[in-house]
Chains A and B, each alone.
Chain A
Amino acid sequence: MEADSHSIIGDTHINDNMPCQDYVRSLVLPGAAFAIASDGCSDGGQTDNGSRIIAHATAQSLRQHWTTVGDPFAPGTVPQIALEQRITMNSARATLGLEHSDMLATSLYAYYTPGGGIAHIQGDGVIAWVTKDRSLVMDRFDWLPSGDRPPAPFYPAYYEDNCESFARYYGGDLNGTFLRSETWVRSAGSTEFSQEAATEYTLSEGIRGPVLRLPPDLLYVGVFTDGVMQVEHIDWKDVVEQLLAFKTTTGAFATRRMNRFNKEARRLGHGPLDDLSYAVIRTDDETEEA
């Protein structure tokens, strides 16, 4: 297996003199691979630091889980990883003198082995995978508005106050449904996407974060920040599909694809408005020939 990840700063960040607030990581260990993404809140503080810390904390938690447990399907995997992630986040924040507002960033990851794996999301974004027959499955996660107030994705940093302020934002109704996912599929040989499912999650489920079970024998698994939904004039499903259409799959394969996607999109006058980031695991070991 191989993995790669890449981020591109969005136009609004450039125009507002802000740094890229996404951070992605990818990691391969014997028998497992991990794809990690974090998107810092643009209304927060120095969330470029927060997303970086969260991504590294997640990577370390995943590494430790694989080393000590060795099974993504083991009971308690996600809570254990989340707990270790938060311990590392809190320690880093205190050590570096960061504010709570600096840590407001999402957390997405895929934890994959040849026998399958899991993907977990706290916040918003897209999780997608390509099967061996080249079918493409993608799950998009969006938080809904709270009455008149705009959508607010969940951030692991909200655990600092036991998620109370976040819950209050959504009226304190832990059973209310405020997170929605859409599942779209492009079957092998088809050029059309079809929506296979729409799922609603309660507030408490959204706080814990949905977990997707990833089947074995996938070609690629990718986690994407919500920047894929904000590329001018290009539907998010097409963005995901193009970002997973690798020409070669050695080394910095995702970096090359995203850089080329960005150049071609800009040539047509389209650009990513928000930071655009993904981390991808490749499982097929076929060597791509030019």
Chain B
Amino acid sequence: MPKLAQGDDSGMQTYQIGGSNFTFQATRIGSLGASGYTLVTIVVDTTGSTEGFTDQLREMLVTTIQACKKSPRKEFLLVRVVLFSTTYNDGHQELHGFTRVLDIDTDSYPTFVASGATPLWDATYSGVGAMAEYAEDLVSQDFDVNGILFVITDGMEGGWGGTVSTARPAMINAKLAEITQRELMESMVSILIGINASTCTKWLEDFRKEAGFTQYIDAGDATSESLAKLADFVQFSISSQSQALGTGGPSQAIPATI
């Protein structure tokens, strides 16, 4: 899919995600120096029901990024962080597009405000779609690429009025399948994480199957302890998947539970 702009002084380029009006930003490929990259996407729920633990969600994110900055694989990580809620245009907002982890300034992450309904499907589609588009571009320029996606949510798609997304689980599934069939990446791991989601575990399990996620993980209640464990899990999984880059297959070391 076409890049929409030739880049600006920030070194980022804007892309459009096929099959949608969604766009995303990514580091201009001409400035990338590694032999390959693990594309990391973290999609975080900031809808109204996350009231009471948004600070912990932000803390989890900051902790994860800071840990990645110390990873032996830090030179090979490009990270995109997306918040989702119907409060945002298109139901989601990038904190930043695919950025070298060492270039990420977590001090600039805003305070998360819990508000709005849950465009979970749109946010997930944006996550997967952006990875597919950027991976295709990277691979065409000789970069080795694999990916790992985390979608962290406390609830089901929609709000009181029903579905709020334009995307559907089948579209997400098709995009994940496309990544595999067209070999856009060596491997793609997609993890749906429920936090404080005990009342909709079944729904999330069903969503996992319909959308084609690699796994669903129940992170338990939204306590400081569980979110700290979540940060450890995310960071460990990123590191494992990055170590698998160049092998042709996914990491075998990502645990099934936190």
Residues of A within 8 A of B (CB): 246-248, 250-252, 255-257, 259-260, 287-290
Contact = CB atoms under 8 A, between A and B. Distances in A.
Nearest to A255: B35
Contact of B28 (A257, A259, A289): A289
B141 interface: yes
Given A256-B36, A289-B6, A250 B31 contact: yes
Contacts of A257: 142
B140 interface: yes
B137 interface: yes
B30 A256 contact: no
Contact of B33 (A251, A259, A260): A251
Given A251-B34, A256-B35, A290 B137 contact: yes
B218 interface: no
A260 B246 CA distance: 11
B6 A252 contact: no
**Most-contacted residue by chain A among B29, B33, B36 (CB, 10 A):** B33
Contacts of A256: 35-36, 141-144
7 contacts: A250-B33, A252-B34, A256-B142, A256-B144, A289-B6, A290-B137, A290-B140
Interface string B119-147: 00000000000000000011011111000
Given A256-B141, A289-B6, A290-B140, 14 more contacts: A246-B142, A247-B140, A247-B141, A248-B141, A252-B34, A256-B142, A259-B36, A259-B246, A287-B30, A288-B29, A289-B30, A290-B30, A290-B138, A290-B141
Interface residues of B, number: 19
Nearest to A254: B35
A165 B138 CA distance: 51
Contacts of A290: 3, 28-30, 137-138, 140-141
Q: Which 8 A-B pairs give the minimum distances between C-beta atoms? A: A251-B33, A290-B29, A256-B142, A247-B141, A260-B142, A252-B35, A255-B35, A287-B30
Contacts, number: 51
A289 B36 CA distance: 17
A259 B141 CA distance: 12
A248 B32 contact: yes
Given A289-B6, A290-B137, A250 B35 contact: no
A251 B32 contact: yes
A259 B142 contact: yes
A42 B110 CA distance: 59
A288 B30 contact: yes
Contact of A250 (B30, B137, B246): B30
Interface string B22-53: 00000011111111100000000000000000
Nearest to A245: B142
A250 B32 contact: yes
Contacts of A252: 33-35
A257 B140 CA distance: 11
A246 B137 CA distance: 15
B30 A248 contact: yes
B32 to A, nearest CB: 6
A287 B29 CA distance: 10
Scoring B28, B138, B142, B144 by chain A CB atoms within 10 A of each residue's CB, the highest score goes to B142
Most buried by A among B28, B30, B246: B30
A268 to B, nearest CB: 15
